[in-house]
């Protein structure tokens, strides 16, 4: 592939990265905190593509002037690409490299859901500290925060307070309903689930991957994750209602 084609693909990659960075599309791939680096990478790619085009044009003009000075009119040197009068042409199939870029721009992949959650063990880890909770009722907590306080803090910081947690539904092989949030270290490729078991007043019909906002209280009930044996704490549900998929479907609170 010649420099012009390389520059075109670099430009398109940079434009696709900027498009993802300026919209919510990037949240399907990386954590929100990496947005500035993503935008910077897109700008660098576009500048590199423009610099490549400029350099190639200057080089072409220089070669043209050099050829005229050495003797224009020789049949062997005019328009020859390989010394035998045949110009090299790049294979058109190389432009198929552009198709994934259009897929990136036009098709937003779904966030990881219940299938990934049930085939991956819980990533819950013991919190380093338990920050003081605000005096709100109900108390909104992330899946990671509630699970850490319930599993490793034994609910001491939760007491009998009403807790409000949002996540998507996953149904275990034995029918156990879980409320899940996929936690990120860096990007979607390393996403791992954190799971909360649901007990109490659970809706009679639950659809996997549906998003719920549940209100309930701490319970000492626990289970072992069938995949890796990790701790899965439960929440005693008093109310549950469906909610739209959030702006950022991943949970980054576990490593902030």
Q: State mean pLDDT over 29-34.
A: 72
Alpha-carbon distances, residue 36 vs 43, 46, 70, 188, 255 (angstroms): 11, 16, 51, 17, 19
Residue with tokens 């990120």: 184
Buried b (16+ CB within 10 A) or exposed e, 151-163: beeebebbeebeb
Q: Does the structure show a pLDDT above 50 at 240?
A: yes
Give the span between the Cα atoms of 19 and 110, in whole angstroms: 17
Q: Which residue has the higher pLDDT, 233 or 83?
A: 233
Residues 45, 47, 51, 53: what is their CA dihedral angle, to the nearest 10 degrees? 70
Alpha-carbon distances, residue 162 vs 71, 137, 194, 218, 237 (angstroms): 89, 6, 20, 8, 10
Q: What is the mean pLDDT of the chain?
A: 81
pLDDT band at 91 (very low <50, low <70, confident <90, very high): low
Domains (range + CATH), the chain: 3-106 (no CATH), 114-255 (2.40.50.140)
Q: What is the pLDDT of residue 75?
A: 44
Q: Does the structure show a pLDDT above 50 at 57?
A: yes
Alpha-carbon distances, residue 55 vs 31, 33, 88, 187 (angstroms): 36, 35, 20, 35
Q: What is the pLDDT of residue 252?
A: 58
Give the span between the Cα atoms of 150 and 234, in whole angstroms: 8
Alpha-carbon distances, residue 158 vs 124, 154, 197, 217, 241 (angstroms): 18, 9, 17, 8, 22
Give the span between the Cα atoms of 220 and 152, in whole angstroms: 11
Bond preceding residue 138 cis, omega within 30 of 0: yes
**3-class DSSP state for residue 173?**
coil
> Residue 206 is encoded by which pair of tokens?
């639950």
Q: What is the pLDDT of residues 100-153, one digit of tens each?
A: 666 666 666 667 889 989 999 999 988 888 889 999 999 999 999 999 999 999
pLDDT band at 76 (very low <50, low <70, confident <90, very high): very low
Q: What is the pLDDT of residue 7?
A: 79
pLDDT band at 80 (very low <50, low <70, confident <90, very high): very low
Q: What is the pLDDT of residue 95?
A: 64
């Amino acid at each position: 592939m010649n420099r012009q084609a390389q520059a075109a693909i670099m430009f398109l990659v940079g434009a696709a990265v900027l498009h993802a960075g300026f919209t919510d599309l990037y949240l399907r791939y990386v954590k929100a905190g990496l947005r500035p680096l993503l935008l910077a990478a897109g700008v660098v790619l576009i500048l590199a593509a423009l610099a490549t085009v400029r350099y190639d044009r200057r080089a072409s003009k220089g070669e043209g002037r050099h050829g005229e000075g050495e003797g224009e009119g020789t049949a062997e040197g005019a328009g020859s690409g390989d010394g035998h009068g045949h110009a090299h042409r790049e294979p058109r199939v190389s432009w198929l490299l552009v198709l994934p870029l259009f897929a990136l721009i036009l098709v937003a992949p779904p966030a990881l859901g219940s299938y990934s959650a049930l085939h991956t063990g819980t990533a819950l880890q013991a919190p380093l500290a338990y920050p003081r909770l605000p005096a709100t009722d109900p108390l909104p907590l992330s899946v990671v925060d509630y699970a850490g306080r319930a599993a490793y803090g034994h609910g001491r910081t939760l007491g009998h307070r009403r807790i409000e947690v949002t996540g998507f539904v996953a149904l275990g092989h034995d029918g156990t309903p879980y409320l899940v949030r996929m936690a990120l270290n860096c990007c979607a490729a390393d996403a791992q689930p954190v799971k909360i078991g649901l007990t109490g007043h659970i809706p009679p019909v639950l659809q996997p991957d549906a998003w719920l906002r549940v209100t309930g209280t701490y319970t000492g009930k626990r289970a072992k994750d069938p995949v890796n044996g990790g701790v899965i704490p439960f929440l005693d549900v008093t109310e549950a209602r469906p909610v739209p998929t959030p702006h950022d479907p991943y949970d980054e609170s576990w490593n902030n």
